[in-house]
Chain A
Amino acid sequence: MNRAAIDLWVGIFVALGLGALLFLALKVGNLAATDVGETYALTARFDNIGGLKVRAPVKSAGVVVGRVGEIRFDPENYVALVSLQIDKRYQFPRDTFATINTSGLLGEQYVGFEPGGDSEMLKAGDEVKKTQSAMVLEKLISQFMFNKAAEDGKQ
């Protein structure tokens, strides 16, 4: 094996390996998706975030428009303080309604934006005022059982 042949093979090997990494990053992973573009930050307070995770998607009309940046507990109001990184290309009205939804019955949770009709737009650092907490399955079930029991009691 002479030097040129070894160099060629090592070159092919490294190119293949980097190609595979690129494939994993772009085609398998989500490096190309959404968060490549520049973002601006919004905040929102939720009574209960359920199982929302950092880097979960923010969707409007089903399209990913941003990601959850940071989740903290607000010790003064006893609520969750969530920062949202929204794609610069998209603007939302001030009265946008932020909800925590679940994709499918048992899927991962995401933040849904339902735009309102305000003519003024949210700016970087603003807070989304109207929020709805995550639906917690156990709560729904116990509520249902309680109601049912109450109805039975009346009869």
Chain B
Amino acid sequence: MKATDYLRRLGHFVTDRLWRLGFASRFLLMTVLYSGTALKRFQLTIREIYFTGVLSLIIILVSGLFVGMVLGLQGYDTLQRYGSSEALGILVALSLVRELGPVVAALLFASRAGSAITAEIGLMKATEQLSAMEMMAVNPIARVVAPRFWAGVISMPLLAALFSAMGVFGGYLVGVQLIGVDEGSFWSQMQAAVDFRQDVLNGVIKSVVFGALVSWIAVFEGYDAEPTAEGVSGATTRTVVTSSLAILAADFVLTAFMFRGV
């Protein structure tokens, strides 16, 4: 193969990706524009919150607990070398509230709920349910896509907060109950160091952004899926891969904006 062939392929690849990005952006715009139904008949969205949020609760709570417990163990091991094991609370809380809570919860959400949304919408497309809806003069973006999108945006910050809270509790269990760090200094040092606006609120903002990203990717991949069994399974995989990468990339950008050390 000649060099020009490689070049042409690269060009094809790039234009193809750009075309998809453009289509996905137009799709997001349409989703937002057609959100009237999802908000007016909020029952539609509540039902999707059940499927995305409530059904992700167990995995989020359990993972949060374990991540917090590991942070407690590892954090203590490092901190006690410098004789500052009371700072364990700060370490656990800050790493959870700023980073691990929003990011890990979003990654779990992408693989638990995002893939389910893609598979569901993809299957609806493959079995012509979306076409049938269109032929019944019901806009599938308004009726199927928008409620799932908003459910994701609403669920994500709540799940991230639960993850962080559970993690802090896990860190407390290991640090205070198991290892025996002083309980008073664990909490008071944490409270002194964790700022509501700077840390907690920024974490919430992050998780809202991640929720919108994951939901966007999930509904788009489902809607754009090849209407076959292979197409749907491929789209599901793409949802998890793309949204994981998007979460981590967006996390870097957001962190760079938020914590530049005022």
Segment from A9-17, A126-134, A145-153 that makes contact with B = A9-17
A108 to B76, CA, bound (A): 21
Q: Is A76 an interface residue (CB 8 A)?
A: no
Number of A-B contacts (CB under 8 A): 89
Are B195 and A27 in contact, with the CB atoms below 8 A?
Answer: no
Asked if A28 and B158 make an inter-chain contact with CB atoms under 8 angstroms apart, the answer reads: no
Known: A3-B43, A16-B158. A29 touches B195 (CB 8 A): yes
Taken residue by residue from 15 to 44, chain A's Cβ proximity to chain B (1 for < 8 Å, 0 otherwise) reads as 011111101110111110100000000000
A61 at the interface (CB under 8 A from B): no
State A53–B194 Cα separation when bound (angstroms): 14
Which B residues touch A23, using CB under 8 A? 165, 168
**Which residues from A are CB-within-8-Å of B50?**
1, 6, 9-10, 13
CA distance A1 to B198 in the complex (A): 41
Q: Looking at the complex, which one of A7, A13, A29, A57 makes contact with B200 (CB distance below 8 Å)?
A: A29
Whether A124 is near chain B, meaning CB under 8 Å from some CB there, is: no
Report the Cα distance A33→B190, complex, angstroms.
12
Q: How far is the CA of A3 from the CA of B47 in the complex (A)?
A: 8
What's the nearest-Cβ distance from chain B to residue A148, in Å?
29
B158 touches A33 (CB 8 A): no
Quick check: A29 and B191 within 8 Å, CB to CB? yes
Contact B196 A20 (CB under 8 A): no
Can you identify 7 A-B contacts, CB atoms within 8 angstroms? A6-B47, A13-B158, A21-B158, A21-B161, A24-B164, A29-B199, A30-B191
Nearest 5 A/B pairs, CB to CB: A17-B158, A20-B165, A20-B161, A31-B196, A29-B196
